[in-house]
Structure formats: C-alpha cells, structure tokens
C-alpha cells in the first residue's frame, strides 16, 4: 500500500464527498448556491474536518482495530505510523476551520465545535453510554446545518426535517455497529455501551424503531414539504432506500450475527445514506410532479 492510498484510507476521503454533497444540498434548499468564493470555502471545510475526524479516530482506536482484525486500516497494517496519523488529523482540522473563518462567524463556530468534538469523541466520548453514538449521528447532521448557516440566518424547516431523518438513521446505524464490534470493544476497551447494558436483541429492536421513525419523517416530507411533496425524483429513490434500511434492520432483530451479514449490512447502510444525500440534492434541483 503506497502512502497516498494509505492516507486516503486513513482519512476516508469518500466520506468527504458525501459531506460536500450534503452541504451543497443544504445551501440549495435553505437559500440557494452562494457566490463562487464562498461555495469553494464551504466545500473545503467539510472535506478537511471530516478527514481530520477519521484520522484522529484511527489514532486513538488502533489497539481496538487490531483486536477486531481491521487489517484494511493503515495503522493496523503498518502503512502509516501513529504519529503521522496524529499530524494529519491536526493539519486537516486546521485547514477546515481556517476555510470556514472566511465565510461567517456561525460557519466558523460550527467547524471549530465539530473539530473539538471529533477529538473528544475519539479520545473519551465513544466509551460513554450512548453519548458517543449520539455524537456520530449528530456529525451526519452537521453538513446540513453548516450549509444552512452559510446561506440563511434562520434554520430552514426542510433542513430540520432532513436533519432529524439523518440523525435517527445515523444513530440506528451506530447501534448496529456496536452489535457488530461488541466482542472486540468489550475485550480491548472494556466498553460498557448500550449492548453491554441491554443486550444485542433489545439493541436491535431499538435500532429498528429509530429507522421506522426516520422513514415516517421521509413519508411526511413527500406529502407536505416542497420540493419533496409529490416529487417522483424524491419518492422513487427514497422508497428504495427506506425498504433497504428496513430489511437490514430486521436482519439484526432476527439475530443474523455472521461476518457475511455484518459486512453486507455495513455496506448497505453506508450506501443507503449516501444515496439519501443525493436524493435531497436531486429533489432540490429537479421536480417531477405526479
């Protein structure tokens, strides 16, 4: 593995692409695309803050990743050293926050707060009952709030509904991740997380409930909120995403605790959330009425 590939894997650059799309979608929905200079700065921030977040997470999580045999991680494979990951994280956070400082005070505040929280999450918060998982779910909402802050002084109702949908789905995905990594987390970190306290089965039902709530909001938006209301560009793909997430969540309820299912569910949930972000962007650009 060459260094460029190792850094890309450390920082999960593919996630940065999703965040950029979310920011642009939020800008479109809340006030329209800003001028080119502001647009460029608004793109730089989520890219680098996200890169820093993943790098610092791998830095603090290297021993757990080794226990869970995450050999695709550069620090586990030896492609990068731990001190290099820490430096990459700090530089990335700095670039992201600096770019946001040239937009407005609120945008800078969001970028700085998220950078600090990302560090604290990796250092300590992830071991706190549900708090770390709530943070990760909230981090999926941040790009929408950030995009809204760039183009409007008040929170757009559509952005609020999208944020709730993403938060609920993200928290459900986090719970599934805890179920998947429970053995390694317990052995290495002595984690006393949700799974430890209520068990895998109840946690699976909790995640399913969260997904159902998110699906309910997505249905509400189709009937009552433009540009999503009666828009086929929204209805068809969001229905596919909702069904995929529901079926996956049912698999956890049915206790299919096999490596093959875990890998498949992780990919499905990540892909579904990426598609959902694309749907919000497409719906803001295209209206196909029923």
182 confidence band (pLDDT: 50, 70, 90): low
Q: At a CB cut-off of 8 Å and minimum separation 6, what does 147 contact?
A: 22, 23, 24, 25, 26, 27, 29, 30, 42, 159
pLDDT for residue 158: 92
**57-87: buried (b, 16+ CB within 10 Å) or exposed (e) per residue?**
bbbbbbebbebbebeebbbbeebbeeebbee
Least confident segment among 85-94, 126-135, 167-176, 215-224 = 126-135
Nearest Cα to 47, choosing from 86, 111, 96?
96
Q: How many CB atoms lie within 10 A of CB 187?
A: 12
Q: What is the pTM of this model?
A: 0.84
Residue 95 predicted with pLDDT over 70: yes
Domains of the chain and any CATH numbers: 1-153 (1.10.357.140), 156-290 (1.20.120)
224 versus 252: which is more confidently predicted? 224
259 confidence band (pLDDT: 50, 70, 90): low
- DSSP one-letter string for 181-223: THHHHHHHH----HHHHHHHHHHHHHHHHHHHHHHHHHHHHHH
Local structure of residue 126 (DSSP, 8 states):
G
- Burial bucket for residue 140 (CB in 10 Å: 0-12, 13-18, 19+): buried
What is the four-CA torsion angle of 53, 167, 133, 131, rounded to 10 degrees? Answer: 110
What does the pLDDT look like over 12-71, one tens digit per residue? 888 888 889 999 999 999 888 889 999 999 999 999 999 999 999 989 888 777 777 777
pLDDT for residue 221: 92
- Burial bucket for residue 145 (CB in 10 Å: 0-12, 13-18, 19+): buried
275 versus 48: which is more confidently predicted? 48
Cis peptide before 227 (omega within 30 of 0): yes
The rounded mean pLDDT for the chain is 84
Give CA 135 to chain center in angstroms.
10
Give the residue-averaged pLDDT of 79-96.
91
Distance, in Å, from the CA atom of 259 to the CA atom of 246, rounded to the nearest integer, reads 19
- Burial bucket for residue 35 (CB in 10 Å: 0-12, 13-18, 19+): exposed
């Amino acid at each position: 593995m060459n260094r460029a590939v190792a850094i890309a894997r450390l920082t999960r650059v593919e996630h940065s692409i999703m965040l950029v799309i979310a920011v642009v979608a939020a800008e479109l929905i809340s006030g329209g695309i800003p001028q080119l200079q502001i647009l460029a700065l608004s793109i730089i921030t989520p890219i680098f803050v996200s890169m820093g977040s993943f790098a610092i997470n791998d830095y603090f999580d290297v021993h757990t990743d080794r226990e869970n045999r995450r050999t695709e991680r550069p620090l586990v494979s030896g492609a990068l050293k731990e001190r290099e990951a820490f430096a990459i994280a700090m530089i990335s956070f700095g670039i992201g926050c600096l770019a946001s400082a040239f937009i407005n005070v609120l945008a800078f505040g969001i970028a700085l707060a998220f950078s600090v929280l990302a560090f604290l999450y990796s250092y300590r918060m992830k071991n706190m009952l549900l708090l770390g998982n709530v943070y990760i779910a909230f981090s999926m909402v941040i790009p929408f709030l950030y995009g809204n802050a760039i183009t409007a002084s008040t929170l757009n109702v559509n952005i609020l509904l999208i944020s709730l949908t993403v938060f609920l789905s993200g928290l459900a995905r986090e719970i599934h991740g805890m179920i998947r990594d429970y053995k390694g987390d317990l052995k290495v970190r002595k984690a006393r997380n949700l799974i430890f306290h209520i068990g895998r089965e109840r946690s699976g039902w909790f995640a399913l409930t969260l997904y159902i709530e998110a699906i309910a909001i997505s249905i509400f938006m189709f009937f009552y909120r433009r540009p999503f209301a009666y828009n086929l560009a929204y209805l068809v793909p969001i229905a596919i995403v909702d069904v995929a997430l529901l079926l996956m969540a049912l698999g956890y309820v049915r206790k299919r605790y096999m490596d093959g299912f875990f890998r498949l569910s992780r990919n499905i949930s990540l892909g579904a959330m990426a598609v959902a972000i694309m749907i919000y962007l497409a719906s803001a650009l295209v209206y196909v009425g029923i």
